Every structure is written in C-alpha cells, then in structure tokens.
Structure 1
Amino acid sequence: MENSDPNDRKRKSDTVFLYFVLCTANVLQFEYGCCLVWTSPVIPQLQSPDPEVNPLGERITTFQISLLAGIPPLVMILAPILFGKLPDVIGRKNTMIGISSVFLLANTALSFGSHIYVYYAGRSVIGLCMGLLMIVLPIYLNEICEDHNRAKHGCLMMFFIPLGSLYGFLVGAVTTVEVFTLLSTMPLIPQLIVFCLVLPESPYYTASKGEKQTTISILERLRSNKSSEEIEEDYNHIETTLKSLSKSEKGTWKDILRSKASRKGFIIGLGSCLSTQMSGIPVIMSYMGLIFNNARTNMSGNAVSILVGSVKLFFYFVTMNIVERLGRRPLLIFSSAGCGISLGILAVYLYLNDVDSPIIDNIRWLPVVSILVYISSLSLGLGSIPTAILSEFFSDDLRSVTTSSALIIVNFCIFILTTAFPILSELWGVHYCIGIFSISCFFSFIFLFLMFPETRGKSFLEIQEILMK
C-alpha cells in the first residue's frame, strides 16, 4: 500500500546551509561545555600553594570550591526570571548575539582575575549566560528544523556540550588557569561575527510578527532544495501551527496548569531533565579530577577526565545518528538503567577504597571502566535527549515560559548538588554520594518507563494530542 503520510512525501535531505547555521549557533553550546568542566582542571591548580601555579596566591578552601562550582547553576535560576521572555521580545537571533558578547567579556575578565571575588563575579555572569542560553537555543534550533529532523539536530545541540567539555579537559590539563580560560573563549569571536552577518532569525518568530516575506526568505535559505510551492506549504504549516496554538494558550506560567497537555508535558519534561541531573552528571563532570585523584586508580584525574570526555563525545555522536531510528523513549529507558548499574559499581569500589580493602589492589581498573560505562549510557539518552526535546511538549506561546520554569527548578537542583558535594563527601565519603546518584537513576527508570511518550517524527499538534490522552 502506498504511504499516505504527507510528511514522508515532503521529507528531503538537509541543506548545507542548515548544517552551517546549526553548527554556528552551537558554538555557544561548545562554550557551555567548557564552562561546565572549568572547575575540574582549575580547582587542583587553585589548591596548590605555589603562586606560579595558583593565580590566587593561596590555597582555596572546601567552602570556596563549593561556591565556584555552585554559583553558576544558582545564578542560572535568575536567567529565566529576568530574561525568560527576551527571545520573544527581541528575537532568538539577537538574544544569542547578546549571550555570545557577554560570554566573551566575562571570560576575558575572569582570565585576568587574581582574587577569589573576581572569580565569583565572573562565574556569576557566566551562569546568567548559560541559563539564558538553555532557554533560547533549543527554541531556535527547533524552529529552524522540520518535524522529521528536529530530534536529530536537537541531539547535535547536545553533541557540542561534550565537545566543549573535552576541549576543556584537554586544554585545562596542560595550561595555566589564565591561558585555559582565554583559550576556551576564543571560538566565540568568529562565531559572533558570522552570527551577526549570516545567520537568519527563526521563521516561527518572524511569522509570529506577521512578516510573511521575511519568513519565506528564511525558509528558502534554510531549505533551498525545496520548490517555491513546498516553501509556501512550509510557511502555511507554520501559520497554521501558530494560529491553532494561540487560540488555546495565553503565554503565562499559570496557563501551564489550565491545559491537560501543558500540565502533562511540563511534568514529563521537568521529570526528564531532573533525571539527567540526579544521575550525578553535574557533580561528576565538575569534580572529575578530584574524585579520581583520590580513587587510587592507575590513571590521574586529568587523564580519566580526557578519556571520559572522548567517550562522551563519541556516544553523543552515536545518539545523534540513531535517535530518529530508535526513538527517544527506548534510549532514555536504557540510559537510566545503565547509569544506575555503573554508578552502583563505582560506589562499591569507592567504599572499598575508603576502608582500605585489600581487594582494591586487584580491581584498580574497575572505577575507570565503571565511569566509562556510566558516561556512555548517559550520552545515549539522559545526557542528550531531555533538554533537546523539552520545548517539543509546548506551544509557541508557552514554550519560553515553560522552558524557563523547568530550568529554574533544574538549576536549583544542580546548585544544591554541586555545592553540597564537596562538603558531604568530606563528611560521609564520596561513595555515599555516588550511591545516592545510582538510586536516583533507578527511580528515573521507573518514571520514564511509565510516563514518557514517543514523539519521534511528530508535529507540535500531534504531540499535543498525545499529551491530552
């Protein structure tokens, strides 16, 4: 029987310009990845009493370590509150240009800092940029893509985070704090120039402003392999989507509770994003060097970090290429189970290490294998999919406010985790903290199995219908 799905007949390969736009915009994610792991190579240097190594001139305390890691996610909470509507007011493109500019200035100032309060201030500004970025970039990428390639390119967005993290691990391991911070910022300079001169605005944003000809011109650039009739159909699809959704949604946070689809979508989206954080990834990536320097393996903390960054990057690439074939749901379920098992094994090893068990001498390879299995499992689902598809569950009018609300809660969770970890690991031991993350992964497995729907290849309206059931 002939396939009657109109989406399948219209489906065409992605253009070179679309990939160029995606990669240019995702340089911001690259910077985000560098900032996530900045503490891993930097904190060991700040703990050194040698002023040639430590730009602060004195050893950093456990409390100061907690603040350096915890300030960005705490300040990220303010970004949705203060700037959550900015992408709807000045546009997605202008918002991202502003983020790139502030990122560049803040990192430059941080690289020349010689006092802990300069570090606090720089990390605070960076946190604001990171928070706003996680609102606007998924919206922009979803809106320049089509239904059939939305998830794939959403995972491309998440692919740039481990790419930036790997870059941070590599450069941070062999350079000073000042040089590392400067080098992590340099890619933003050409990105900012290209963004201003070449990249288009979101077609959904221009259509929502009534700019039909501008929207069609953008679609012609992004989908140059389509005929004028197909471009007109794409524009009509955008118009239909905007009109249909604007009838039932008003665009305030209270409207999340008024629609069953919005309520359910918010619970699923928030639960999925919290599952990522409660797997321990913000803590493990921030304190990788410290954790493995004390684990008595055959590798240094920096060496393990580089290996983890490489594996993470590879599996994000794998996820990007298989998510449209396998779907989001099975990958998320498999990922949460794999993370729970591998972290459980790592927790047991760290406990044995803490009590000086003689078994340790024969299994020094185990924590490295465990962390690689963990990072592989995470990259296949929990680490790459939830944030990329968060905005799929919401209408255009609600997308910014729901994403902002979810990210406020998620970032508060990250702040608690990253700030508490150094203190609790001293009081209880690292193994208890890792064990808690393992248990959380199994709870995530149950939640995702029971709640998460498959949205592969579905339009916004089709997803809304699924959530209404």
Structure 2
Amino acid sequence: MRALLPFRWFARFQDGGLANQFLMALMVTIPVMNFGMLMGWQSPMTPILQDPEGPAPEPISDDTISWMASVTFIPPIFCGFLAGDLADRWGRKITTMLTSLMLVISWVITLFSLRPWALITSRAVAGLACAGCYVVTPLYLKEIASDNVRGALGSLFILSQNLGYLIVYVAGDVFSFAAVMWMCTAVPVLHLIAFLAMPETPVFLVKQGKFKEARAVLAWLRKTTVEDKNLQEAVQQLEREEELAKSMQKASWKSIVKDKTTFKAFRISLNVMLSQETCGYLVVLMYAGSIFEQASESISLKLSPNKQTIVVGVIQLLGSIVASCIVEKTGRKWLLAGTSFATGLSMLSLGAWFYITSAAVWLPGWLPVLAMCLCIFADAAGYQPVPYVITSELFSFQHRGMVTSFVSSLDALSDFLQTKAYDPLLKLLGIHWVFIMFSAVCFFGTLYTILYVPETKDRTVEEIHAILEDGRKKEKRKGNVETGKETRL
C-alpha cells in the first residue's frame, strides 16, 4: 500500500490542474528568486570586492557597501504605485516581464563595471525590479490559484526569494566571481524568453473583455475543457464581478476610505505588513556573523563567513517550505500569530543573552545560535509570507493593486530606514536593547493578529468583508450599550 502512495499523490496533484497552477506559480516567482539572488549576492561578494587583489578596479569602501545595501529600497518607495498601475493597465504578464528586464539591466551594469558608481546604479535599477516583484507577483499568484491552494501558492513568493538567497550563498562559496555573475544574469534572461509562452491571468482578461481567452486560460489552469460546467460558472462569476465594478464608482483612495469595511481591511493589511517589516528580521540577518563568532568562543563552532550565510540560507528555505506545506491546514490567522510570537520570543532571548553577557556573566554560546535559528525559521515559516497572502485575499481586484502598491512602498521605506539606521541604533541603544525593542514589535503583532485579523482561508472577499462588517457592527453595538443607547442595525 505504501508503495502506491507516490502514485496516489501524483494523481491528486494532477487532479484539478494543480500541476499547471504550480508550474505557472513557479514561472511567476522566478524574478523574485533572482531578486533574492541579487540581495544575497552582496554577502559572499563583499570580501572579494574589498580585496585589493580582487576584480574591482579599486577596493570598494564600507560606505559604498552600505549604499549598495540600502539604495535598492529607494525606488520602490516611489515606484510601487507605478508598478500597480502598469499591472492594471498593461497586465500582470507584461509587468512581470518588465521586472525581469530590470533585473537583466541591473546585472549587465555590474558585468561591465565594478566601480562604485556602477555598483550603486545597478542596485538602484534593481529597486525598480523590487517594486515589480512585491506588487505584481502576489497579484499574479492570487489570480491563478484555486481556493484550495491559494495560500500554498501565495507562500511561494517568500520561498522563491529565500531559495535565491541560498543559491547565491552556495554559488559564492563554490564558483568564481565571474561564474556567479554570469549565472545570476542568465536567470532573468532565460525567464524573459520562457515567460512569453505563459498566459495572462483570467481576472485581467475578463477585465479587458476577453472572455473567450479567459475561459481558455482558466481551463488550462484547472486542467479541464472550456465546456466544463464548473469552469463556466467560475468565468461567469468573474464576469459578474467585472460588471459590478464597472457599474460602481472607479476604485480610488476615496472609495477605500469612504467604505468603512474596506477601510478596516486596509488598516488590517497595513498593520500586519508593517509588523512583518519592522520586526527586526533584517537586523538578525546582519548580526548573524557576530552571533556565530561569539558562539564559537564557548562551543566548537568554527564556520567561515560563507558557511555561516549558507546555514542561514538553509534555515530560511526550510521555514519557507514548511509555510507552503501547512498554510492551507493551519489557516492564515493562527500561523501568523504563532510565528510572530516565536519570532518575538527568539528576539527577546537574543536581547537577554547579550544584556546578561555584557555584564560579564557567562552563558552558553549555543543559546544565541538556537535563538537566531528559531527567529529565522519562524519568520520564514509564516511571519514573512502570510501577510502577503492575507493582503491579496482581503480585497477585490478593483482595490487589490492599489493597496498592494501602497503597502509595498511603505515596506520599502521601512527596509531603507532599518538598513541605514542599523549602525546608529547599535551605537545609541546597544544590540541588546535593539533586540528587545524588536521583540516588543513582534508581540504587538501577535496580539493584533489574534484580536483583529480575520481568517481568510477558503473564504471569498465577500465572506471576509461580511466578517469584518459583523465585527464593526458588534463594536458599534458595544459602544451604544456603554453609552446607554440602543440602535437597531
């Protein structure tokens, strides 16, 4: 019987077109993987770029390295809205291809020159690709996925990014500088060519009035025929939503603020995303080398800097794989709450360890390593991917692009500020208070998720908004009781 399990799993995977949907999702997330490679590239390549005998015409200064790390997040602050607008005007497919094109240009600049201006310019161009990745990819994944795999496909976003980190960490340890550069450049080039054969999302095709093409794409994604009754009902539902959207006032920020339920969904999306971005995860990654170094003083843990980054990359990838496997079973709400609490607990442990050891009290070196690994794993297993899934599920397609663009811009601003404020914070507060401060952010995120974030698993936008509307009415009723008034709702 056990021998038949792989065949049963494969048959189940083929059923309902899951294989086609996963193939499409993997193709869509390749730019995100390459962006992860670009961000991770700096870690193994910095010592090479700063080596007087390295490939750069002159050793790259620490100031240039700092700007390389932070300048990537400047363009998304201003271009997030542009990426969302392009996705609504030109389509998800073309915008995804433009994202790959920006990645190609970024890598080509570095291939031709390794001078400081070229390295910083390359990262700035990559920032345009960052806007495309973080705005368009979640939209694409949401609009091609069946309800029963919506969360799993949505979590591939962070999984692909972490896979990109690990690939470039390993490549940087094994291959030459030039070989890594050409490999990283080849990925978006090949994606540009291969993605020409990929379809547009059914939602966008319906929005353009291309109902016949939408049926064909949906039939391929569900691995059925265009005459399938369930397929026809799905397309008709999309058509009804589009007709309703046309009959309504054009989606705008005014319409989001004016509708109290939509605005409540917007506040929830904003809060979970900001909690995710300001939880201090970047600080943990930046300080991973120091944690390994201090741990090696009391335990036999001698790892080269490249080996340390590979360990971090493996933990990230394992966490992302776990997220993709369990998000449809646990639901969004409790996976987010659990992983944010685990991240906060590990941050608090790191802060306590550094505070106690700074007072010349001995503590075992494996404690910070264990806390760091838990933080990285928990963040990748839910705290990072789930907010993107929730945000994509809270809104109809009229508002989804706008909200995703706005949240993406705020996230990029947060990342930029954290990257630039890293050293000043360390000098002002000390690493222990920095970790304790970030743990408070994580715990606040846990509490907020439990109290206010609705479960979006297996629910339509209308069902989710009904839950939010009911919650808003309960709050209003409670307020009326407290003030001695009665209002019929």
Common fold by TM > 0.5: yes
Distance 1:150 1:140, change over 3 A: same
The residue matched to 1:453 in structure 2 has which SS?
A: coil
Conserved? CA contact 1:273–1:410, under 8 Å: yes
In the alignment, what sits opposite 1:38? 41
Deviation at 1:428, TM superposition (A): 4.1
Conserved? CA contact 1:266–1:406, under 8 Å: no
> Which one is further off, 451-460 or 248-257?
248-257
Which aligned pairs between 1:56-455 and structure 2 lie closer than 5 A? 57-61=58-62, 63-175=63-175, 178-196=178-196, 198-225=197-224, 228-248=228-248, 250-285=250-285, 287=286, 290-292=289-291, 295-297=294-296, 298=301, 299-352=303-356, 357=360, 359-360=362-363, 363-455=364-456
The residue matched to 1:151 in structure 2 has which SS?
A: helix
Distance 1:396 1:219, change over 3 A: same
Runs of 4+ residues deviating >6 angstroms: none
Deviations for 1:347-398, whole angstroms, at most 9, x for unmatched residues?
A: 233345556x3615xx222222111111121122111111233121112111
Distance 1:368 1:249, change over 3 A: farther
Distance 1:59 1:130, change over 3 A: closer
Conserved? CA contact 2:295–2:368, under 8 Å: no
> Which one is further off, 89-98 or 171-180?
171-180
Deviations for 1:3-36, whole angstroms, at most 9, x for unmatched residues?
A: xxxxxxxx96333222211111111121122233
Deviation at 1:251, TM superposition (A): 1.9
Conserved? CA contact 1:148–1:458, under 8 Å: no
Deviation at 1:177, TM superposition (A): 5.1
Tell me the amino acid that sits aligned with residue 389 of structure 2.
Answer: A
Deviation at 1:93, TM superposition (A): 0.4
Conserved? CA contact 1:289–1:301, under 8 Å: no
Tell me the amino acid that sits aligned with residue 189 of structure 2.
Answer: I
Conserved? CA contact 2:83–2:405, under 8 Å: no
Tell me the amino acid that sits aligned with residue 32 of structure 2.
Answer: Q
Distance 2:309 2:383 in 1: 19
Conserved? CA contact 1:100–1:188, under 8 Å: yes
Deviation at 1:410, TM superposition (A): 1.5
The CA RMSD measured in Å over matched residues stands at 2.3
Q: 5+ residue gaps in structure 1?
A: 1-10
Conserved? CA contact 2:17–2:220, under 8 Å: no
The residue matched to 1:51 in structure 2 has which SS?
A: coil
TM-score, normalisation: structure 2: 0.86
Tell me the amino acid that sits aligned with residue 341 of structure 2.
Answer: A
Q: Which has the larger radius of gyration?
A: 2
Match of 2:24 among 21, 24, 32: 21
Distance 2:114 2:187 in 1: 24
In the alignment, what sits opposite 1:3? none
Structure showing the higher helix proportion among its residues: 2
Deviation at 1:425, TM superposition (A): 2.5
Deviation at 1:163, TM superposition (A): 0.8
Conserved? CA contact 2:336–2:386, under 8 Å: yes
Tell me the amino acid that sits aligned with residue 18 of structure 1.
Answer: Q
In the alignment, what sits opposite 1:8? none
Distance 2:424 2:172 in 1: 24
Conserved? CA contact 2:336–2:382, under 8 Å: yes
Distance 1:466 1:247 in 2: 24
Deviations for 1:410-460, whole angstroms, at most 9, x for unmatched residues?
A: 111111001111343245433332232222111111211111100100112
Deviation at 1:407, TM superposition (A): 1.3
Number of residue-to-residue matches in the alignment: 451
Distance 1:292 1:45, change over 3 A: farther
Conserved? CA contact 2:40–2:169, under 8 Å: yes
Distance 1:159 1:292 in 2: 24
The residue matched to 1:14 in structure 2 has which SS?
A: helix
Distance 1:53 1:254 in 2: 54
TM-score, normalisation: structure 1: 0.89
Tell me the amino acid that sits aligned with residue 36 of structure 2.
Answer: G
Conserved? CA contact 2:206–2:214, under 8 Å: yes
Distance 2:267 2:113 in 1: 42
Tell me the amino acid that sits aligned with residue 26 of structure 2.
Answer: C
Distance 2:379 2:456 in 1: 20
In the alignment, what sits opposite 2:5? none
Tell me the amino acid that sits aligned with residue 350 of structure 2.
Answer: L
